[in-house]
């Protein structure tokens, strides 16, 4: 048995060392949402570590004390009926732990779904992020620009990503800024996040979407608001406008580098929200009015 | 086989009792099957895409005929089982025969109904709504079709072998199945047709 | 020629061609071997047409072990491919097919079959029954499973394997994005074996409710039987959901409907919902029998009664109910509102309570016991801490907000392997070792078994613990490769090393079976482990009628009472015993189902119609068939019992 505990100790040390020398992405947050998540994860790790330690201690105790080699040959283990007190303890304590974590879960879930605290008064920057096989298209309706496979964000301003997909279900994930959310073809999902320090972050699709999935990634760059505005102006000065034809070309399956356009594809290929949402997506206009009333519940 | 004469014929052997219990459990699974179909139906009900909605394609007359015919057949199979309990083989066969004929009638009207949907442009491929409608109705219809053959086989066996613990057991289980299909139809009638036409 | 083109593999590689040759050679070798030893008659009469629950159980277990090696080969290929950055051993398409088949084979054809195999063998013995309620149906269940498994397994050499993950999410699995016939295989293989599983569920519920030995009330059933009862109840209520989901998927792919499409009213999330409404209970279909096995083994080798019998039963009932109320936690990230996620987060974590009760009850079963570290007990002892880690990471995943960071990462992969391997796989190996003498009349070598155990346990830790870390570092699951800059390389290499150790462990287990078959003593007695429940009250190996006389039961440990308290287990005298006849119908019907499924996969309508007619003809034949079984006379039983030395009387 000793070998196993040695092994477990080894693995535990390894984990600590690895965490020590280079912070893991998820536990190295660069914005309030990711920080909430990181804190939640640490709380649950510590709580759960207590459970594991208790179980391990009890187990080792039982194994050491009651192994056959330590007992006299004629020892007959007694018949023991469950004691109500012991039973209520082993029910009660897990109930308390689960109750505690439930509170943590509910509070943090509401927190990360909302605009981060302290940023509610600012108007969020809306960016539509849509996936196609195997690219990400970022449309900035406010700035009237569109990028492919990279996204620039102003720091200290809430950003609202509106996600949808031109193909299979994908999952939009920037581990250091916020948790992931699915992008689907027939509805919009939203991520609210804030980047509080400038830098470059990894973003990717984390939901398996076919052959090109492994390289379905994008770069996130957080800039100060001034630099962000400069970047937008530069694009308006240099980039080509996106056309329907060009956009259809971009949608073809494959990988592309980073591209920049003025205008957004939302003008000729609207996102599945409002009248274009839910089951109306893909149907012609004459029918979409009839079903106005039902599109709401599909956008929950 | 030990036969216990204090029990009704269909329960009289150990295997018979097992068969009936087993069939009840199977009906539990069938309830889940149709429950899943109904749940899916409710979700797809308004997702009609470019196709028609329920209110636009449902016709009251065939549905009422189907309902009437199937409910009557549920009554006649009850009479058949009653006749079986009274050991009146001939009456039982007559009632079973009527049940199956009514089942056949139901199926014919349902086929007519499907033709109608086809003509008004509501096929499996039209929209998610028409697909789930036809899948739900079709699953029920397939059960009825299977039941027709099953019932026919049982009638032949009763004719050839008389009322034995085995044939009585089969008839009783078949009656459970038939009643169940009837109950499912009541749900289809209320939650698909009535709800759709209102 | 055009007809045959459809059978070509869309993404051929030397590996696949090599497998084709290997499969061909193995089939030829089997046919030649059986013919050479003139065993066709034996095989047909004693095994292929059998309705004996013990033999069906053994056939399930053999198939499960075969599937374990198929799925294991997939696993090693995946670990090898990801062991170094930018590896080119497999390309993306192959990797996708490999992880898809790994998941499907391991869940449906390995774990399910292993669980059902052990249930088949053990449950009737534990409740003192002669067979299951519907022996013929039981054979049909097995052969349908087998037909489904074979159908799925030929996919990679004929027409191409499914490549949309074992979860098979639409629209990825639709014709638009998954163009080979792979997903058709997925649909039909699972549909056919799923029918078999549903029949098993019905069969075992009826068996356990109606066929228990006199005196065995529900609360006096051994814990494994309890777990089997609850598991089968979950099967009966969960599998119809999968049936419907797969029908809808098949209609979408093969008949042009729009259930899961994004046009004409379709809804891709519908598949995910239906799949997981079945899928989460499925997890408990696998783990509850494992809990049952551990309960038997820990009590036996601690020489103590199981602590907290009632709370053990109660917790399983609660788990089974909760299992239907948590499916949304598989997609917290699908954009539901915070309220929905909160509710499902709480129901998910609530499962930790009954599971925790079980862990503590097992610990308290060892308390004041006399613990013998046999191979089955070693697996059980390793299970407790490892499964606890798997369980607590499950609670961590159940925190909805944090799941936004774990979802779709290696953290999740580590978690569910951490529950399934020490939970289910260890339980199956422990159960197999434990009941092996009942099945074959000799014991597996303990020393070799312990070597296998250490390789598996250490290999497991190396294989899966690093994934928790890479997951938190942002490694998504199902990536066929990654760049060096990510820094995932060393930990993935460690995983590959662990997978290698596990592979060696499984090879040792096979060697152990061979070694023990050759060298183990055959006179092990009826009760080699000093066990407690009824299955040990009959002979080794078990005669076809199980018990010459039906046992009389007074507690959940009838055999222990007999040994220690002078309880009279067999009060009656020997009478003639009714047994079911063998039948060739199940294997023939399943063969037709195989042809039906195969034809459907490739749209060969003539094959579909002919095999469907054949299937209905089998059913009609069964309806008219008169088969009242046969009797074994009292004299014959006495003769057999005398040969066994009359023990157990």
CA angle (A268 as vertex; A127, C176 as ends), nearest 5: 90
Complex confidence, ipTM: 0.95
How is residue A76 written in tokens? 């007959």
pLDDT band at A15 (very low <50, low <70, confident <90, very high): low
For residue A48, the chain C residues in CB contact (below 8 A) are 392-393, 395-396
The pLDDT > 90 percentage for chain C reads 87
Instruction: Specify whether the CB–CB gap between A124 and A160 falls below 8 A.
Output: yes
* Closest CA–CA distance from residue B63 to any residue of chain A (Å): 26
Strands (E), C546-598: 577-579
Q: Domain ranges in chain B?
A: 9-197
CA angle (C61 as vertex; C57, C66 as ends), nearest 5: 150
For residue A278, the chain B residues in CB contact (below 8 A) are 47
The dihedrals phi and psi of A217, each to the nearest 5 degrees, come to -125, 165
The dihedrals phi and psi of A82, each to the nearest 5 degrees, come to -65, 135
Domain B9-197: homologous superfamily in CATH: Cytochrome c oxidase, subunit III, four-helix bundle (1.20.120.80)
Please name the member of C133, C251, C263 whose beta carbon is closest to the beta carbon of B22: C133
For residue B166, the chain C residues in CB contact (below 8 A) are 626
- Per-residue pLDDT averaged across C212-220, rounded? 94
How is residue B41 written in tokens? 């139906």
Would the pLDDT of A279 be above 80? no
Kindly list the distances between the CA atom of residue C548 and the CA atoms of C55, C73, C178, C473, C482, in Å, as whole numbers in the listed order.
Answer: 18, 44, 56, 61, 62
Q: Domain ranges in chain C?
A: 39-583+627-643
Which of C336, C377, C169, C145 is closest to C268 using CA atoms?
C169
Contact check, Cβ <8 Å, A63/C371:
yes
Neighbouring C-beta atoms of residue A73, cutoff 10 Å? 6
Does the domain spanning C39-583+627-643 belong to CATH 1.20.210.10? yes
Please name the member of C360, C367, C403 whose beta carbon is closest to the beta carbon of A90: C360
Contact check, Cβ <8 Å, B49/C258:
yes
How deeply is C643 buried, as exposed, middle or buried, from its count of CB atoms within 10 A (0-12, 13-18, 19+)?
exposed
A125-269 CATH choice from 2.40.50.140, 3.30.930.10, 2.60.40.420, 1.10.3720.10: 2.60.40.420
pLDDT band at C645 (very low <50, low <70, confident <90, very high): low
C96-122: pLDDT as tens digits: 999 999 999 999 999 999 999 999 999
Please name the member of A63, A105, A110 whose beta carbon is closest to the beta carbon of C399: A105
Residue of A nearest to B44 (CA): A279
C47-73: pLDDT as tens digits: 999 999 999 999 999 999 999 999 999
pLDDT at A40: 96
C524-541: pLDDT as tens digits: 888 999 999 999 999 888
Residue of C nearest to A109 (CA): C401
How deeply is C152 buried, as exposed, middle or buried, from its count of CB atoms within 10 A (0-12, 13-18, 19+)?
buried
Which of C295, C302, C300, C366 is closest to C531 using CA atoms?
C300
pLDDT band at A283 (very low <50, low <70, confident <90, very high): very low
Contact check, Cβ <8 Å, B1/C259:
no
Would the pLDDT of C368 be above 90? yes
pLDDT band at C649 (very low <50, low <70, confident <90, very high): very low
Residue of C nearest to B30 (CA): C240
A163-211: pLDDT as tens digits: 999 999 999 999 999 999 999 998 999 999 999 999 999 999 999 999 9
pLDDT at C472: 96
Would the pLDDT of A6 be above 80? no
Would the pLDDT of C476 be above 70? yes
B vs C: CB pairs below 8 A: 116
pLDDT at B172: 96
pLDDT at A289: 38
Q: What are the b/e assignments for C39-56, b being 16+ CB within 10 Å?
A: eeeeeeeebbbbbbbbbb
Q: Packing angle between helix C352-366 and helix C268-302, nearest 10 degrees?
A: 10
pLDDT at A18: 56
Q: Which residues contact C264 (CB under 8 A, 6 or more apart)?
A: A279, A282, A283, B49, B50, B51, B126, B127, B128, C258
Q: Are strands A259-262 and A145-148 parallel, antiparallel or unpaired?
A: antiparallel
Please name the member of C262, C305, C477 whose beta carbon is closest to the beta carbon of A281: C262
pLDDT band at C468 (very low <50, low <70, confident <90, very high): very high
Which of C288, C264, C287, C274 is closest to C239 using CA atoms?
C274
CA contacts within 13 A on the Cβ side of A29: 20
A vs C: CB pairs below 8 A: 293
The dihedrals phi and psi of A67, each to the nearest 5 degrees, come to -70, 145
Instruction: Specify whether the CB–CB gap between C297 and C383 falls below 8 A.
Output: no
How is residue B31 written in tokens? 């309830």
Judged by DSSP in three states, C534 sits in helix
pLDDT band at C489 (very low <50, low <70, confident <90, very high): very high
How is residue C407 written in tokens? 């979802």
pLDDT band at A295 (very low <50, low <70, confident <90, very high): very low
Contact check, Cβ <8 Å, B47/A279:
yes
For residue A67, the chain C residues in CB contact (below 8 A) are 370-371, 373
Residue C105 CA to residue C64 CA, distance in Å, equals 9
Contact check, Cβ <8 Å, B40/C270:
yes
Q: What are the b/e assignments for B42-81, b being 16+ CB within 10 Å?
A: ebbbbbbbbbbbbeebbeeebbebbbebbebbbebbebbb
C535-576: pLDDT as tens digits: 999 988 899 999 999 999 988 899 999 998 888 888 888 899
B64-123: pLDDT as tens digits: 999 999 999 999 999 999 999 999 999 999 999 999 999 999 999 999 999 999 999 999
Contact check, Cβ <8 Å, A279/B50:
no
Q: Please, which chains are in contact with A (at least 3 CB pairs closer than 8 A)?
A: B, C
What strands lie across the sheet with A240-241, from one edge to the other? A189-193, A159-165, A125-132, A135-140, A145-148, A259-262, A240-241
Q: Are strands A240-241 and A259-262 parallel, antiparallel or unpaired?
A: parallel
Confirm or reject contact between A279 and chain B (CB < 8 A): yes
pLDDT at A286: 37
Residue of C nearest to A28 (CA): C473
Q: Are strands A217-223 and A199-205 parallel, antiparallel or unpaired?
A: antiparallel
Contact check, Cβ <8 Å, B49/A294:
no
The pLDDT > 70 percentage for chain C reads 99
For residue A24, the chain C residues in CB contact (below 8 A) are 469, 472-474
């Amino acid at each position: 048995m000793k070998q196993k505990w040695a092994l477990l100790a080894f693995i535990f040390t390894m984990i600590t060392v690895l965490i020590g020398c280079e912070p893991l992405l998820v536990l190295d947050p660069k914005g309030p949402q990711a920080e909430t998540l990181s804190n939640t994860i640490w709380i649950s790790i510590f709580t759960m570590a207590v459970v594991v330690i208790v179980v391990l201690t009890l187990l080792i105790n039982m194994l050491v004390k009651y192994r056959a080699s330590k007992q006299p040959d004629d020892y007959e283990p007694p018949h023991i009926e469950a004691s109500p007190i012991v039973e209520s303890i082993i029910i009660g304590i897990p109930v308390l732990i689960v109750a505690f974590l439930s509170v943590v879960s509910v509070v943090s879930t509401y927190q990360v779904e909302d605009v981060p605290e302290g940023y509610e008064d600012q108007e969020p920057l809306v960016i539509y992020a849509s996936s196609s096989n195997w690219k990400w298209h970022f449309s900035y309706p406010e700035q009237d620009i569109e990028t492919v496979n990279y996204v620039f964000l102003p720091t200290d301003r809430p950003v609202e990503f509106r996600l949808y997909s031109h193909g299979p279900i994908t999952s939009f994930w920037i581990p250091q800024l916020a948790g992931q959310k699915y992008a689907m073809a027939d509805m919009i999902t939203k991520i609210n996040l804030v980047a509080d320090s400038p830098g470059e972050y990894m973003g990717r699709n984390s939901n398996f979407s076919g052959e090109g999935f492994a390289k379905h990634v994008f770069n996130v760059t957080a800039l100060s608001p001034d630099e962000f505005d400069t970047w937008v102006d530069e694009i308006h000065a240099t980039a080509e406008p996106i056309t329907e034809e060009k956009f259809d070309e971009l949608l073809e399956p494959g990988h592309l580098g980073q591209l920049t356009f003025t205008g957004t594809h939302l003008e000729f290929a609207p996102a599945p929200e409002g009248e274009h949402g839910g089951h109306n997506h893909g149907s012609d206009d004459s029918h979409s009015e009839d079903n106005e009333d039902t599109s709401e519940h599909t956008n929950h | 086989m030990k036969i216990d004469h204090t029990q009704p014929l269909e329960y009289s052997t150990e295997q018979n009792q097992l068969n009936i219990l087993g069939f009840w459990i199977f009906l539990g699974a069938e309830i889940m099957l149709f429950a899943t179909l109904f749940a899916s139906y409710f979700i797809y009900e308004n997702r009609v895409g470019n196709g028609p909605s329920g209110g636009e394609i449902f016709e009251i007359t065939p549905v009422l005929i189907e309902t009437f015919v199937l409910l009557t057949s549920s009554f006649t199979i009850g009479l058949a089982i009653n006749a079986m309990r009274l050991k009146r083989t001939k009456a039982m066969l007559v009632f079973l025969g009527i049940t199956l004929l009514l089942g056949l009638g139901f199926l014919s009207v349902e086929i007519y109904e499907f033709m109608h949907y086809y003509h008004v442009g509501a096929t499996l491929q039209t929209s998610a709504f028409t697909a789930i409608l036809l899948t739900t109705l079709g699953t029920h219809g397939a059960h009825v079709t299977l039941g027709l053959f099953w019932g026919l086989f049982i009638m032949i066996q009763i004719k050839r072998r008389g009322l034995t613990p085995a044939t009585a057991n089969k008839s009783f289980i078949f009656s459970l199945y038939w009643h169940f299909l009837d109950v499912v139809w009541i749900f289809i009638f209320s939650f698909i047709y009535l709800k759709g036409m209102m | 020629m055009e007809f045959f083109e459809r059978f070509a593999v869309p993404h051929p590689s030397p590996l696949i061609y090599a497998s084709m040759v290997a499969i061909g050679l193995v089939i030829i070798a089997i046919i030649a071997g059986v013919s050479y030893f003139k065993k066709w008659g034996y095989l047909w009469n004693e095994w292929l047409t059998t309705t004996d629950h013990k033999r069906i159980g053994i056939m399930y277990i053999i198939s499960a072990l075969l599937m374990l090696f198929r799925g294991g080969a997939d696993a090693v290929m995946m670990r090898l491919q990801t062991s170094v950055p930018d590896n080119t051993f497999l390309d993306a398409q192959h990797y996708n097919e490999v992880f898809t088949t790994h998941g499907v084979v391991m869940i449906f054809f390995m774990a399910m079959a292993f669980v059902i195999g052990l249930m088949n063998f053990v449950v009737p013995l534990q409740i003192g029954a002669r067979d299951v309620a519907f022996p013929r149906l039981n054979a049909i269940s097995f052969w349908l499973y087998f037909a489904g498994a074979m159908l799925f397994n030929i996919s990679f050499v004929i027409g191409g394997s499914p490549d949309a993950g074992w979860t098979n999410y639409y629209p990825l699995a639709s014709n638009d994005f998954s163009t080979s016939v792979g997903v058709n295989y997925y649909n039909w293989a699972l549909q056919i074996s799923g029918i078999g599983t549903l029949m098993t569920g019905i069969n075992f519920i009826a068996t356990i409710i109606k066929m228990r030995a006199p005196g065995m009330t529900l609360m006096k059933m051994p814990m494994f039987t309890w777990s089997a009862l609850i598991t089968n109840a979950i099967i009966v209520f969960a599998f119809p959901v999968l049936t419907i989901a797969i029908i809808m998927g098949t209609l979408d792919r093969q008949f042009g409907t729009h259930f899961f499409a994004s046009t004409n009213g379709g809804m891709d999330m519908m598949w995910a919902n239906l799949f997981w409404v079945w899928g989460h209970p499925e997890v408990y279909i696998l783990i509850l029998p494992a809990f049952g096995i551990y309960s038997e083994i820990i009590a036996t080798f601690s020489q103590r009664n199981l602590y907290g019998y009632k709370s053990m039963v109660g917790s399983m009932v609660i788990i089974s109910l909760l299992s239907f109320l948590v499916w949304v936690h598989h997609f917290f990230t699908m954009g539901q509102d915070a309220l929905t996620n909160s509710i499902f987060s709480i129901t998910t974590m609530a499962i930790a309570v009954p599971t925790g009760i079980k862990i503590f009850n097992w610990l308290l079963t060892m308390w004041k016991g006399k613990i013998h570290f046999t191979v089955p007990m070693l697996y059980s002892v390793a299970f407790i801490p490892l499964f606890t880690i798997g369980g607590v990471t499950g609670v961590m995943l159940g925190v909805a907000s944090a799941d936004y960071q774990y979802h779709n990462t290696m953290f999740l992969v580590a978690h569910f392997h951490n529950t399934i391997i020490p939970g289910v796989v260890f339980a199956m190996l422990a159960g197999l070792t434990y009941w092996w003498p009942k099945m074959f009349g000799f014991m597996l070598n303990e020393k070799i078994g312990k070597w296998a155990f250490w390789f598996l346990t250490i290999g497991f830790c190396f294989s899966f613990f690093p994934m928790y870390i890479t997951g938190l570092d942002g490694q998504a699951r199902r990536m066929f490769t990654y760049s060096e800059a990510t820094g995932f390389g060393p930990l993935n290499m460690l995983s590959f090393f662990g997978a290698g150790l596990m592979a060696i462990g499984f090879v040792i287990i096979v060697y152990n079976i061979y070694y023990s078959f050759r060298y183990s003593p055959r006179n092990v007695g009826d009760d080699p482990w000093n066990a407690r429940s009824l299955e040990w009250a009959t002979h080794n190996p078990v005669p076809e009628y199980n018990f010459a006389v039906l046992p009389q039961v007074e507690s959940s440990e009838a055999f222990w009472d007999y040994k220690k308290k002078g309880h009279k287990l067999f009060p009656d005298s020997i009478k003639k015993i009714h047994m079911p006849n063998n039948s060739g119908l199940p294997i023939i019907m399943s063969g037709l189902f195989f042809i039906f499924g195969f034809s459907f996969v490739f749209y060969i309508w003539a094959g579909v119609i002919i095999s469907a007619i054949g299937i209905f003809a089998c059913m009609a034949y069964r309806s008219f068939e008169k088969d009242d079984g046969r009797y074994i006379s009292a004299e014959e039983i006495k003769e057999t019992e005398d040969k066994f030395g009359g023990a157990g009387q």
